[in-house]
Amino acid sequence: MTASVTEVAAGNPAAYGVETRLGHLGRDPAAHGRTVNTPIYRASTYVWPDTATQEQERLLAQDPAYRGTMYGRGGNPTTIAFEDAVAELEGGFRGLIMPSGLAAIVGAVLSVAKAGEHILVTDNVYPSARNVFTNVLSRYGIETSFFDPLDTDGIAVRIQRNTRALYLEAPGSDTFEVQDVPRIAEIAHAHGALVLFDNTWATPYFFKPFEHGVDISLHAATKYLVGHSDAMLGLIVARKEIYPDVRSTVRGLGYIAGPDDAYLALRGLRTLGVRLDRHESSAIEVAEWLLRHPGVLGVRHPAFAHHPGHATWQRDFSGSSGLFSFELPAVPKPVLNVFLDHLQLFSMGASWGGFESLVKLPHATRTFQPLDPARQIIRLHVGLETVSDLIADLDYALGAFAHAQKKIA
């Protein structure tokens, strides 16, 4: 995306390239003591100089789009700057900062569904979200069922009369199948259901949810947006017509996040493009190497032609991130541990999206497309280290693994 001279002169921010926007959104030096970065505003309380000003603001605040600060639970200039920056990048109306990605998931669902209603959820959903749907929201009368992420044609029959929303995540957690978001959104809307989408993997840098029929996008900002493994944070971005409901629900429930974490997320945005470009290229190099390795059974990565949903990914996404998985033969745990314990640079860790490489054994549950018990899925987050070092690390650990495998054969 490049801007014409007149658009830039007119100050139309949407006309700038994405890297320019990542550098400039959510900053206003003139409003903040001329500091380059929006400062950390610590505030529970805001005061008014007189009753007339207070009354004027009370009236303004009746507009759900109002961006002022009245009380800490509604936000502060740091959190609002982050909300506005990501909403602008995604093409949504407004954002709502949340204390974690999981809180964003719960907040988004509670904003659209009530007791007696149903949410249709992709089978490859983030496991902690699956737990919330099946074990927590069910206690409050919100019903959930799942759909096969690759069976787009089978979705319509799974939509019930009380289905309020379809919940998508592309590519899905651990197995990375890519759903046809625009087509699924068409089906959902034809049945009067909304579309909720977890955009954590791609971020707005690689996927624009609101250009693909999504009504509410949500993020674990904990991952790439913060980008340095040092904060828990979530964000919900909504379409204009839905935003007032989402805002009144999540702020009404008391969800807010602190300005320090919002500051870290804003700082993360400044380098999101360069970080993701490197995560992407290194991950593809590592995945290609793994695919050629004789001990590896397969690679699950949307950028590879054999991957389920690859064509959809190619059509709808502008890139891939650093998170994918590969498969080894299923072996007794002590043998698998030989592989994990010989890794030096890939640390065992539950999260991803930081600068560091991580390895994790996923605990995926599937209703459709059962996972092959003869294959062990291993999830990798390829960090920003020198890629040849990462490959050497895997080579060494896979060598030790092959040796251990032979001993039990």
Residue nearest to ligand PLP (CB): 101
Residues labelled catalytic:
73, 126, 198, 223
Q: Minimum distance between the CB of residue 233 and ligand PLP, rounded to whole angstroms?
A: 7
**Residue 187 to residues 125, 158, 315, 392, Cα–Cα distance (Å):** 19, 11, 19, 46
Q: What angle do CA 362, 366, 367 make, to 5 degrees?
A: 170
Our CB check for ligand PLP shows the closer of 16 and 322 to be: 322
Beta carbon of residue 10, minimum distance to ligand PLP (angstroms, whole number): 37
CB of 216 to ligand PLP, least distance (A): 14
Burial environment of residue 70 by CB neighbours within 10 A (0 to 12, 13 to 18, 19 or more): middle
CA–CA separation, 109 and 112 (whole Å): 5
CA neighbor of 343 nearest in space, from 405, 397, 289, 282: 397
123 three-class SS:
coil
Q: How do 234-238 and 216-220 pair as beta strands?
A: antiparallel
Both ends of the chain: CA-CA distance in Å?
55
Q: Least distance to ligand PLP from the beta carbon of 218, Å? A: 8
Secondary structure, 3-state, 323-341: EEEEEEECCCHHHHHHHHH
Q: Which is nearer to ligand PLP, 220 or 335 (CB)?
A: 220
- Residue 121 or 220 with smaller CB distance to ligand PLP: 220
- Residues in contact with ligand PLP by the rule CB under 6 A: 100-102, 126, 169, 173, 198, 200, 220, 222-223, 232, 234
Nearest distance from residue 128's CB to ligand PLP, in Å? 6
Which one, 254 or 373, has the nearer CB to ligand PLP? 254
Beta carbon nearer to ligand PLP, 237 or 296: 237
Which two tokens mark 17? 């390239």
